[in-house]
């Protein structure tokens, strides 16, 4: 089978590409605009593989998308391309409307036009898998509540509102045009190759450089953490075995307060790379003014994907976090590549617009 993956040079997309090339016989058509968060260095092991074709294309460019579909003739689309950073969406929402809403619409129309050219068997095999986020659901007040596939949408930020809009478009294209779609909503991803403006890599890199570790408010916001390679396995399971028209929530079963995450990172670094002055990394933690409209708790009920498709995460938070920290310690060249491109590694996300706040970003897929 041939999978057209949008955003395949991004964090989750590159993990998915690596998973498919390593573990399956499938072919990949990787469509990525290569914005600041897209990095071909994350795909170094796959670029020379004849089963991996890369196309530098903006998903808002209908002409280029039509060419890609006609040239490569994929059996499925796995749509991950998106602007995904909440703080950036607050500072500049236009890019999120363009990429996440207009881009999804353009991709849907290109996919629909291509799907309509297929013969009966190919049409029956085709899938359009839209990868979304649990942030479309807003946040949870009751500590016992969990997001399910039927939770009402209540997005809080320009980012999550744009993703919610994309979700609705995808479902409408099935209802109106019969396009065979699947939707997944995942919790916070972490792991190797994560762009350094996101919480976990930002804390690791700041700590290694002796910089402050800025935490919003008291750091009591709760997130469910999902190791990115577990997510890639789940996405492949859904696109190959999921039921058309269904939504599947994907979570790591790892609810943690942000301050817990940062303290765990500090403790790991104390063991794996102790500071030369002997002081614990936790002394670098600082608390800053909270982000506007900050959701307080996300938590995924991933029971449906376990019951229906047999997927469960392989990593615990502890094992995944240790692998992540060790990866950043072992791969300084990857970080330096990002630095040379002018990305704000080691600086707080949002610093371009509000340097005085030094906010800690909350990772989103």
Tell me the pTM: 0.91
pLDDT tens sequence across 252-303: 989 999 999 999 999 999 999 999 999 999 999 999 988 787 878 989 999 9
SS3 129: strand
| pLDDT at residue 352, as a whole number | 23
Nearest-angstrom CA–CA distance, 232 and 13: 8
pLDDT tens sequence across 214-256: 999 999 999 999 999 999 999 999 999 999 999 999 999 899 9
| pLDDT at residue 187, as a whole number | 94
Q: Give strand pairing partners of 128.
A: 77, 181
Q: Over 80: is that where the pLDDT of 51 sits? A: yes
Q: What are phi and psi of 7, to 5 degrees?
A: 70, 30
Neighbour tally for 121: CB within 10 Å: 8
Q: Over 60: is that where the pLDDT of 169 sits? A: yes
Considering only residues 141 and 104, tell me which one the structure prediction assigns the higher pLDDT.
104
Choose the catalytic residue: 32, 134, 197, 224: 134
| pLDDT at residue 338, as a whole number | 82
Q: What are phi and psi of 31, to 5 degrees?
A: -105, 115
Active site includes 134? yes
Considering only residues 120 and 86, tell me which one the structure prediction assigns the higher pLDDT.
120
Choose the catalytic residue: 32, 83, 135, 197: 135
Q: Per-residue confidence at 342, pLDDT binned at 50, 70, 90?
A: low
Domain topology for 2-195+226-253+297-315: Rossmann fold (3.40.50)
What radius of gyration do the chain's Cα atoms show?
20
Active site includes 114? no
CA proximity to 294, closest of 192, 364, 348: 364
Provide the mean pLDDT of the chain: 91
Neighbour tally for 348: CB within 10 Å: 23
DSSP H or E run through 110: helix 103-115
CA proximity to 319, closest of 260, 250, 268: 268
pLDDT tens sequence across 128-150: 999 999 999 998 988 889 999 99
CA proximity to 330, closest of 338, 340, 322: 322
Choose the catalytic residue: 105, 159, 216, 236: 159
Domain ranges of the chain: 2-195+226-253+297-315
């Amino acid at each position: 089978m041939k999978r057209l993956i949008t955003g395949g040079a991004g964090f989750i997309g590159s993990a998915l590409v690596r998973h498919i090339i390593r573990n399956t016989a499938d072919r990949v058509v990787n469509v990525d605009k290569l914005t600041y968060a897209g990095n071909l260095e994350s795909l170094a092991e796959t670029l020379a593989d004849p089963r991996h074709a890369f196309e530098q294309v903006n998903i808002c460019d209908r002409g280029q998308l039509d060419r890609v579909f006609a040239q490569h003739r994929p059996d499925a689309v796995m749509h991950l391309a998106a602007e995904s950073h909440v703080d950036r969406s607050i500072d500049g929402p236009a890019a999120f409307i363009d990429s996440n809403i207009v881009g999804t619409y353009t991709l849907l129309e290109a996919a629909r036009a291509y799907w309509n050219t297929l013969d009966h068997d190919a049409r029956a095999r085709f899938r359009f898998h839209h990868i979304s986020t649990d942030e479309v659901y807003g946040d949870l007040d009751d500590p016992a509540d969990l997001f399910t596939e039927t939770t009402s949408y209540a997005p809080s930020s320009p980012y999550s509102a744009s993703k919610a809009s994309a979700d609705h478009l995808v479902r409408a294209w099935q209802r109106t045009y019969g396009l065979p779609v699947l939707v997944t909503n995942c919790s916070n991803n972490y792991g190797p190759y994560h762009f350094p403006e996101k919480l976990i890599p930002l804390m690791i890199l700041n700590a290694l450089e002796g910089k402050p570790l800025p935490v919003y408010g008291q750091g009591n916001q709760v997130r469910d953490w999902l190791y990115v390679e577990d997510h890639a396995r789940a996405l492949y399971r859904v696109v190959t075995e999921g039921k058309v028209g269904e939504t599947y929530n994907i979570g790591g079963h790892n609810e943690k307060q942000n301050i817990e995450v940062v303290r765990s990172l500090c403790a790991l670094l104390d063991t794996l790379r102790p500071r030369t002055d002997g002081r614990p990394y936790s002394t670098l933690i600082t608390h800053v003014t909270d982000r506007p409209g900050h959701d307080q708790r996300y938590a995924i009920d991933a029971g449906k994907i376990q019951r229906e498709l047999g997927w469960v995460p392989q990593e615990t938070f502890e094992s995944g976090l240790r692998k992540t920290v060790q990866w950043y310690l072992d791969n300084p060249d990857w970080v330096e590549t990002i630095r040379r491109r002018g990305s704000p590694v080691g600086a707080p996300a949002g610093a371009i617009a509000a340097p005085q706040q030094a906010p800690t970003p909350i990772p989103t897929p």
